[in-house]
Chain A
Amino acid sequence: MEKCPSVKSILLLDSEGKRVAVKYYSDDWPTNAAKEAFEKDVFTKTQKTNARTEAEIAMFENNMVVYKFVQDLHFFVTGGEDENELILATVLQGFFDAVGLLLRGNVDKREALENLDLILLCLDEIVDGGIILETDATVIAGKVASHSIDAGAPLSEQTISQALATAREHLTRSLLK
């Protein structure tokens, strides 16, 4: 109980339960297979619930899971069974809102994958080795965004040029098919 509040994992899955980005901070899942089994479990047990307006919560096998869905993305934050539910919910909200800010409101799987670097940096700024670093979405997004600026280039331009680059890549790939 005297432990520091801790997060065991943060998961971002798509509407079929596939990984978009996941981060584990605990040894409870030593192998990738164990992780995937856990994700599947979490996904199927929460799939049918409506977690689009308010964050929802479930508990199974000593894991507390708080989650929220938007479009085809499912956000999860999990912790131990003794963890304060509201702390986990705060972390989830921070993650969820920060992603919303970083993706400029277009929060869906495609956008998330196209900006996977931002998502990964975002995860990195929220929790470090299970210890909560920051829960305020604007601060988190601010830290991530400040990194993605090319020296001097404003954020808007950056994303447009990035979008162009990926589009170009996609085009070449389809030409090669």
Chain B
Amino acid sequence: MAQPLVKKDDDHDDEAEYSPFLGIEKGAVLQEARVFNDPQLDPRRCSQVITKLLYLLNQGETFTKIEATEVFFAVTKLFQSRDLGLRRMVYLMIKELSPSSDEVIIVTSSLMKDMNSKTDMYRANAIRVLCRITDGTLLTQIERYLKQAIVDKNPVVASAALVSGIHLLQSNPEIVKRWSNEVQEAMQSRAALVQFHALALLHQIRQNDRLAVSKLVTSLTRGTVRSPLAQCLLIRYTCQVIRESAGNTQTGERPFYDYLESCLRHKAEMVIFEAARAITELNGVTSRELTPAITVLQLFLSSSKPVLRFAAVRTLNKVAMMHPMAVTNCNIDMESLISDQNRSIATLAITTLLKTGNESSVDRLMKQITNFMSDIADEFKIVVVEAIRSLCLKFPLKYRSLMNFLSNILREEGGFEYKKAIVDSIVILIRDIPDAKESGLLHLCEFIEDCEFTYLSTQILHFLGIEGPKTSDPSKYIRYIYNRVHLENATVRASAVSTLAKFGAMVDSLKPRIFVLLRRCLFDSDDEVRDRATLYLNTLGADGAMDETNEDASEFLFGSLDVPLVNLETSLKNYESSDEPFDISSVPREVKVQPLAEKKAPSKKPAGLGAPPSGPTATVDAYEKLLSSIPEFSSFGNLFKSSAPVELTEAETEYAVNVVKHIFDQHVVFQYNCTNTIPEQLLENVTVLVDSSEAEEFAEVASKPLQSLPYDSPGQTFVAFEKPQGVPAVGKFSNILKFIVKEVDTSTGEAEDDGVEDEYRLEDLEVVAADYMQKVGVSNFRNAWENMNPDSERVDEYGLGPRENLSEAVNAVINLLGMQPCEGTEVVPSNSRSHTCLLSGVFIGNVRVLVRLSFGIDGEKEVAMKLAVRSDDESVSDAIHEIVASG
């Protein structure tokens, strides 16, 4: 226990630190609470003690159950006093103590008396306290009073009852729902906040009844809602109604848009903002609808209030993601915000500008950002770095200035997260923009010369080892790498040795020099470094013994581990004490847990160095590994493409199945990912019976059943088909899931021995032309287009019929062809009448294909399209047209 006599060792002046609670101590205050029991109550003294107790609780002190009960009983005595102030403190105290239900009974009668008191304040507060601590049984007793209170002429009382109603609705909906009439009456109240609370409660009571909500909104948007808060609420409800009615509006005007727009002229800023934000978030908002909202937000940008500026710039930032063109009008105001005192506002302004900027403004923008970067915190810098990365991907031609910017900030001070964000960005740019590779690698090399983060150094070295040897002059990187061997800690030295070995394996001319360097590493002070050097010297054949090891060596250096790490770990653990040498082929290759399901969720952060080929490539890698581990399919050759999973069952059925289509040169493999969602069942010998009668060119050659499918642990079964080589054969397949069901005793988890054969009908599956197209982007479409043989070009025009808007038509064609949109051309500015979209891809047989689509839309929403294809193979150009013509 603290000793009251020891003075706190603060270096502050005692006078300045004076606090009425200095040296306060729980035990002493609990003692003091005895005054509550005095026959002659001293209200002021009691108030002070309660304040002290509340202070203790507020500081995070806790009372034991016994202490709390004692205090609670003592406090209930204070209802005897008629002192208003004290009563208020008693209410607070009871709420803080949140008494148990048997304790609640003690105060119920006192509180009910107060609920019917003539003093408004007593009524209002007693309602709030009682509703806070009460449970359902008591509620029926006080329901009558609450209904009365809702329509009380004193707004404080009415609000107290309504707000309590909102809280009670969570626990006792059936009771609160009976108050509809009273709540509706309260809606008519002249008091602004009563109206707000009544609206909130009324909506919650009716929230599951769409029609009622719609009626409520319809009547209120016409009437006058006085309180700005209620107005904000109404805007939110209106948006809900708009969203839910979205399906059945046929033409033109969006319902309630006029109301939202009129709210933009409201006198309260919070209502204006709520309405503006609501408009920007409307589904498929048109630029005509957006304009008035953008205009008011633009006015807010130059407000003197930081909160207003922040709210506006944050909303515009979001709008810029979908409708960059709509926000460009605000660019001038936005630029002046770069120097805003509030760094959150400045960062949002910058990132918005980066999103809306066009190619010509990049350089100017970068200059402004350079000044700005020096005085913001790391977390903001990371946001900016990410914005710059996406800008660079959007305008690959500008990579030079953006890459320079990144390398400059890389040299400046910064924490790990920030540096990692920069390095990740550079890596992604190197990967996606071939022209940027050499300069990017050099920037990274310079960075590791003076990098304090081991993690980043090793990752960069690894990346260098993969990319460096493929550059025009690999020798220039050697110096940077070898420097690491001299100057760094053991971890970095070891990875530098591995990187050197990779250069040696890939570049024959460098081999002798690499050997010299590796031999020097044999004298390193660290085991791992020496071991690696020895290993690589041997595998690369430094002793001149074997020449044909080359392939093995590069396989060893570059090949990825073909067994799942988890399995390897388990195997190694089992192995630990055995005498036999460890055999890696004994490690099971089958992936136990389906790793691909999670991939569906778009990863928020782009994979960094750890997994250089991020996104789809990584998935393909995983599939490739999975398939090559199955002997039946190992002869099929290289995997050309794997589709995204296609669901074959409705959500929440007994068995969830989706399928991934793997395309090989001569074969197609369907991978059925199955999940058993019934805890009482174990499925065995799971197969899919595929009927390919509607797919003439396909012939089933193999299938791999799934041995057992327990509850909630996904498994895969495969079916393989042969098809004509190199031909984009299409067809429709119907599927039936066959299996043996065994009952499982959920308490023991044991399955019965006997099973019953059963089957389950799945939805049909189609192989379409797009499955034969790999999404491969090009950084400079124009160059690539001009380099293709013009003779291979095929041009034709198509009518796409009536469409909602251009964007829909563009997406439909992109999906049909399964190609990669280039240079951000898949985004159609809203309301534009024409659009050009550039696509690139690789067709089966490794044929490069480029497509130029020109769209136009007329007054009747009829869309016409001109399609120009160039490819390495004229027949493929024709095939693309066939796809479109038949799609």
Chain A interface (Cβ < 8 Å from any Cβ of B):
1-5, 19, 21-22, 32, 35-36, 49-50, 54-60, 66, 84-90, 109-110, 113-114, 116-117, 120-121, 124, 128-129, 131-135, 143, 146-151, 161-162, 165-166, 169-170, 173, 177
Residues of B within 8 A of A151 (CB): 82-84
Residue of B nearest to A114 (CB): B20
A87 to B311, CA, bound (A): 11
- Do A132 and B229 have beta carbons less than 8 Å apart? yes
Residue of A nearest to B21 (CB): A113
A165 to B43, CA, bound (A): 13
Q: List 17 A-B contacts (CB under 8 A).
A: A2-B203, A5-B229, A19-B59, A21-B58, A32-B60, A49-B341, A50-B341, A56-B306, A57-B311, A86-B273, A109-B19, A116-B21, A116-B55, A147-B87, A148-B85, A165-B44, A169-B20
A-B pairs with the 8 shortest C-beta distances? A86-B270, A32-B60, A85-B311, A147-B88, A89-B307, A4-B200, A117-B51, A57-B310
- Do B311 and A86 have beta carbons less than 8 Å apart? yes
Q: For residue B663, give the distance in angstroms from its CB to the closest CB of chain A.
A: 42
- Do B83 and A86 have beta carbons less than 8 Å apart? no
Residues of A within 8 A of B19 (CB): 109-110, 113
Residues of B within 8 A of A177 (CB): 5, 7
In the complex, chain B residues 29-71 whose Cβ is within 8 Å of any chain A Cβ: 43-44, 47-48, 50-51, 54-55, 58-60, 62
Q: For residue B343, give the distance in angstroms from its CB to the closest CB of chain A.
A: 8
Residue of B nearest to A1 (CB): B236
A5 to B229, CA, bound (A): 8
Residue of B nearest to A166 (CB): B20
- Do B84 and A146 have beta carbons less than 8 Å apart? yes
A170 to B128, CA, bound (A): 35
Chain B interface residue count: which class?
A: 35 or more
Beyond A59-B344, A151-B84, whether A85 also contacts B310 by CB under 8 A is: yes
A58 to B277, CA, bound (A): 19
Q: For residue B768, give the distance in angstroms from its CB to the closest CB of chain A.
A: 37
- Do B273 and A84 have beta carbons less than 8 Å apart? yes
- Do A86 and B163 have beta carbons less than 8 Å apart? no
Beyond A4-B166, A146-B84, whether A57 also contacts B306 by CB under 8 A is: yes
A69 to B120, CA, bound (A): 34
| Cross-interface CB contact of B308 among A60, A86, A129, A135, cutoff 8 Å | A86
Q: For residue A162, give the distance in angstroms from its CB to the closest CB of chain B.
A: 7
Residues of B within 8 A of A162 (CB): 44
| Cross-interface CB contact of A58 among B58, B305, B344, cutoff 8 Å | B344
Residue B232 is within 8 A (CB to CB) of chain A in the complex: yes
A145 to B363, CA, bound (A): 60
- Do A3 and B58 have beta carbons less than 8 Å apart? no
A68 to B160, CA, bound (A): 28
A57 to B310, CA, bound (A): 7
| Cross-interface CB contact of A131 among B89, B163, B240, cutoff 8 Å | B163
B297-316: CB near A (< 8 Å → 1, else 0) gives 00000001111101100100
Residue B237 is within 8 A (CB to CB) of chain A in the complex: yes
| Cross-interface CB contact of B60 among A35, A110, A116, A134, cutoff 8 Å | A35
Beyond A2-B203, A143-B156, whether A84 also contacts B121 by CB under 8 A is: no
Most-contacted residue by chain A among B62, B160, B166, B344 (CB, 10 A): B344
Residue B323 is within 8 A (CB to CB) of chain A in the complex: no
Residues of A within 8 A of B207 (CB): 2
Residue of B nearest to A56 (CB): B306
- Do A2 and B306 have beta carbons less than 8 Å apart? no
Q: For residue A23, give the distance in angstroms from its CB to the closest CB of chain B.
A: 8
Residue B274 is within 8 A (CB to CB) of chain A in the complex: yes
Q: For residue B199, give the distance in angstroms from its CB to the closest CB of chain A.
A: 9
Residue B648 is within 8 A (CB to CB) of chain A in the complex: no
Residue of B nearest to A135 (CB): B229
Residue of B nearest to A3 (CB): B236
Residues of A within 8 A of B87 (CB): 147
- Do A133 and B310 have beta carbons less than 8 Å apart? no
A149 to B87, CA, bound (A): 11
- Do B239 and A1 have beta carbons less than 8 Å apart? yes
Residues of B within 8 A of A165 (CB): 44, 48
A174 to B307, CA, bound (A): 45
- Do B229 and A147 have beta carbons less than 8 Å apart? no
- Do B307 and A66 have beta carbons less than 8 Å apart? yes
- Do B236 and A86 have beta carbons less than 8 Å apart? no
Residues of A within 8 A of B159 (CB): 133-134
Residue of A nearest to B23 (CB): A173
Residues of B within 8 A of A5 (CB): 229, 232-233
- Do B167 and A84 have beta carbons less than 8 Å apart? no
Most-contacted residue by chain A among B21, B82, B88, B232 (CB, 10 A): B88
- Do A128 and B89 have beta carbons less than 8 Å apart? no
Most-contacted residue by chain B among A85, A89, A134, A146 (CB, 10 A): A85
A58 to B309, CA, bound (A): 12
Q: For residue A152, give the distance in angstroms from its CB to the closest CB of chain B.
A: 10
Residues of B within 8 A of A19 (CB): 58-60
| Cross-interface CB contact of A117 among B89, B273, B277, B304, cutoff 8 Å | B89
- Do A54 and B305 have beta carbons less than 8 Å apart? yes
A134 to B88, CA, bound (A): 17
In the complex, chain B residues 269-283 whose Cβ is within 8 Å of any chain A Cβ: 269-270, 273-274, 277
Residue B688 is within 8 A (CB to CB) of chain A in the complex: no
Residue B342 is within 8 A (CB to CB) of chain A in the complex: yes
Residues of A within 8 A of B307 (CB): 54-57, 66, 85-86, 88-89
- Do A57 and B342 have beta carbons less than 8 Å apart? yes
Residues of A within 8 A of B62 (CB): 32
Q: For residue B556, give the distance in angstroms from its CB to the closest CB of chain A.
A: 44
- Do A131 and B200 have beta carbons less than 8 Å apart? yes
Residue B92 is within 8 A (CB to CB) of chain A in the complex: yes
A84 to B277, CA, bound (A): 9
- Do B233 and A121 have beta carbons less than 8 Å apart? no
A60 to B240, CA, bound (A): 27
- Do A22 and B58 have beta carbons less than 8 Å apart? yes
A19 to B19, CA, bound (A): 13
Residues of B within 8 A of A147 (CB): 84-85, 87-88, 121
Residue of B nearest to A58 (CB): B344
| Cross-interface CB contact of A170 among B18, B43, B269, cutoff 8 Å | B18
A46 to B88, CA, bound (A): 34
Residue B445 is within 8 A (CB to CB) of chain A in the complex: no
A114 to B709, CA, bound (A): 68
Residues of B within 8 A of A161 (CB): 44
A47 to B18, CA, bound (A): 23
- Do B58 and A150 have beta carbons less than 8 Å apart? no
Residue B193 is within 8 A (CB to CB) of chain A in the complex: yes
Residues of A within 8 A of B59 (CB): 19
Q: A5-B232, A132-B229, A148-B85 are known contacts; what are 6 more A-B pairs with Cβ within 8 Å?
A: A2-B207, A57-B310, A113-B19, A117-B47, A150-B85, A151-B82
| Cross-interface CB contact of B54 among A54, A114, A116, A128, cutoff 8 Å | A116
- Do A2 and B60 have beta carbons less than 8 Å apart? no
A32 to B18, CA, bound (A): 25
A55 to B303, CA, bound (A): 13
- Do B240 and A149 have beta carbons less than 8 Å apart? no
A166 to B84, CA, bound (A): 20
Residue of B nearest to A92 (CB): B307
A135 to B314, CA, bound (A): 24
Residue B197 is within 8 A (CB to CB) of chain A in the complex: yes
Q: For residue B388, give the distance in angstroms from its CB to the closest CB of chain A.
A: 21
Most-contacted residue by chain B among A21, A49, A89 (CB, 10 A): A89
A21 to B193, CA, bound (A): 26
A56 to B305, CA, bound (A): 8
B236-249: CB near A (< 8 Å → 1, else 0) gives 11011000000000
Residue of A nearest to B192 (CB): A136
- Do B273 and A85 have beta carbons less than 8 Å apart? yes
